[in-house]
Amino acid sequence: MKKTIVVGCDNAAVALKDTLIKFMQDLGYEVENVGVDSPEDGTYYPYVAERVCKAVIDSGYTKEGVLICGTGLGMCICANKFPGIRAGVCHDSYSGERLKLSNNGNVICFGARVIGPELAKKILKEWLSLEFKDGSSTPKVEAIRELDRKYLK
């Protein structure tokens, strides 16, 4: 059973979002699109990040998220404010791999004004295919959870 992926973007990234949604569906993933769906929709990116992160949290963290804005940075900053969300901007293959294997990242962020669609597809496919495994990174990810408990009230 393939994972369900929740995807959102702001109006800087609608075309890349639509490309990545079709790409993931073709790979067999269940995709939930939370918008925005038009460059004319000026919903601020923090509210879209909230939709995606809430869906991941409400799923008991079984779903994963993809967030896209102009740079990926605003979405990433917002996503990491939600408990249990570990998000990273990945514009290269090594970062995408480490987001899953080192950080157990459950939300990947892209900047549509930074990365082209083919590289984004490659990074996304790799990230989706990987699973975090217990090992030397486990206590570090547990330390992130401690920070969540300590500061995210």
Binding site for ligand RB5 (CB under 6 A): 10, 12, 45, 69-71, 73-74
Best CA proximity match to 3, nearest among 99, 116, 127, 117 = 127
Please list the active-site residues: 69
Shortest separation between residue 75's beta carbon and ligand RB5, angstroms: 7
The residue of the chain with the least Cβ separation from ligand RB5 equals 74
In angstroms, give the least distance from the CB of 44 to ligand RB5.
8
- Distances in Å between the Cα of 133 and the Cα atoms of 65, 85, 98, 130 are 19, 17, 12, 9
By beta-carbon proximity to ligand RB5, the closer residue of 45 and 127 is 45
Concatenate the DSSP letters of all residues of 64-123 into one string.
EEEEEESSSHHHHHHHTTSTT--EEE--SHHHHHHHHHTT---EEEEETTTS-HHHHHHH
Question: Whose Cβ is closer to ligand RB5: residue 29's or residue 89's?
Answer: 89
Residue 18, burial from CB neighbour count under 10 angstroms (0-12, 13-18, 19+):
middle
Q: Which one, 114 or 141, has the nearer CB to ligand RB5?
A: 114
For the record, the structure tokens of 52 come out as 């995606």
Q: Cβ of residue 77: shortest distance to ligand RB5, in angstroms?
A: 7
Give whichever of 29 and 87 is closer to ligand RB5, judged by the CB atom. 87
CB of 65 to ligand RB5, least distance (A): 16
